[in-house]
Structure 1
Amino acid sequence: MQNKKAHAAKPAQRIIKKYPNRRLYDTDTSTYITLAEVKQLVMDHQSFVVRDAKTNEDLTRSILLQIILEEEAGGTPMFSEPALANIIRFYGHAMQGFMGSYLEKNVQAFTDLQAQMAEQSKNVAPEVWAQFMNMQNPLMQGMMGNYVEQSKTMFEKMQEQMQKQTEQMLGAFGIKK
């Protein structure tokens, strides 16, 4: 009985089909939806996949990138031109695989920090919260310092892993460092 409840509680992954005319069809609601509605699914933490209606190819990443592009073009961009240029430079570079993992872990650490702050601020009046955010509070500096330290530690671990793999690869070819 408990297994049925656990199984029923897990929502199925929503399937969105993309047609050649660039329209998106939500098979869950049997309606066409906009990119803004797909963005809302992301914001609501809904599990979904976007598939090409003809080939069944997974297009989820390209749709998510399209949402990011629209967000970047329409308001206050999150990424500066130098940051975007640096990301582009990692494509085709030996560190490309590590960079994706590093960014993913960094964004997750920042998201966790944000959730922790939101949880701690539930009972705080909006006016007090605004004052807190406007101050250079030692607590805030400490939290951001912890985030930066975690980021640095992740990067150092990534570098160590890359160095070990390089040494193993060179050792396999009989080349010693």
Structure 2
Amino acid sequence: MTDKPAPLLIKRYASRRLYNTETSDYVTLEDISGFIRDGREVQIVDLKTGDDLTRQYLLQIIAEHESRGESVLPVDVLNDLVRSYMGGGVSVVPQFLQASFEMLRDGQSKVVENMSAINPMTKMPGFEAMQAQQKAFMKAMTGGMPTPWTGAATSGPEASDGSEDLEAIKKQLAELQEKLSKMS
């Protein structure tokens, strides 16, 4: 098992300014959003009290993106989240969301591994550039959530045996190969 790197420590001063302890400079919410998009984990703590403010700031980042029209969360999901907070009992929503995102990341990693192992196109000139474009597209489509997925069509993390994923990948590769041969 690999150890996760320590999160980037951001300290909030009484003036509400945020201080990056790695680079010894002040950062904005947009900077923190960029760190997260780049795959870094962050931890934001109040300098005076030591309280962990990470959740509060992450929610603020999401709210700002949503208010700018960069909607990622459907209204139904937001309503369910509000209901889960307003219910008197213990909610399973946080555990469900965490498990869902873990399954998504794991599924995407497996697709990439399978694609590299079985795909003769990986040796083709220009494949890396095409793969980088697909990664950039998926990063934009997933709201910047870091993902190793290269953009191959899948039926999602709920696919049980991966055979549907493999068939979709083969079909997409055949289409790409056909387009590339027409370009030559």
TM over 0.5: yes
Task: Considering Cα pairs closer than 8 Å and 6+ residues apart, tell me whether 1 or 2 has the greater RCO.
Answer: 2
In structure 1, the gaps of 5 or more residues are 1-5, 134-138, 151-177
Counterpart secondary structure, 1:89: helix
Match for residue 68 of structure 2? Answer: 74
For 2:155, the aligned partner's letter is M
Q: Aligned residue pairs: how many?
A: 132
Pick the aligned partner of 2:130 from 118, 126, 132: 126
For 1:100, the aligned partner's letter is P
Alpha-carbon distance between aligned partners in 2 of 1:12 and 1:76, rounded to the nearest angstrom: 29
**Greater helix share, 1 or 2?**
1
Cα separation, partners in 2 of 1:32 and 1:103, compared to 1, 3 Å: same
Alpha-carbon distance between aligned partners in 2 of 1:11 and 1:79, rounded to the nearest angstrom: 28
Runs of 4+ in 1 over 6 A off after TM superposition: none
Match for residue 42 of structure 1? Answer: 36
**2:110 corresponds to 1:106:** no
Identity %: 33
1:7-18 equivalences under 5 Å are 11-18=5-12
In structure 2, the gaps of 5 or more residues are 139-151, 162-184
Alpha-carbon distance between aligned partners in 1 of 2:7 and 2:93, rounded to the nearest angstrom: 28
Match for residue 144 of structure 1? Answer: 155
Alpha-carbon distance between aligned partners in 1 of 2:14 and 2:64, rounded to the nearest angstrom: 20
> TM-score scaled to structure 2, two decimals?
0.58
CA-CA distance at 1:113 after TM superposition:
2.5
Cα separation, partners in 2 of 1:14 and 1:102, compared to 1, 3 Å: same
1:83-102 equivalences under 5 Å are 83-91=77-85, 92-96=87-91, 98-102=92-96
Whether the aligned pair in 1 keeps the contact of 2:43 and 2:54 (CA below 8 Å) is yes
Match for residue 165 of structure 1? Answer: none
Match for residue 54 of structure 2? Answer: 60
CA-CA distance at 1:11 after TM superposition:
4.6
Q: Deviations 1:42-97 (Å, cap 9, x if unpaired)?
A: 1233243111121111101111111111222223311122221111111234351x
Alpha-carbon distance between aligned partners in 1 of 2:130 and 2:37, rounded to the nearest angstrom: 22
Q: Deviations 1:98-121 (Å, cap 9, x if unpaired)?
A: 221111101111222333344537
For 1:87, the aligned partner's letter is L
Alpha-carbon distance between aligned partners in 1 of 2:82 and 2:159, rounded to the nearest angstrom: 23
Larger Rg: 1
> TM-score scaled to structure 1, two decimals?
0.60
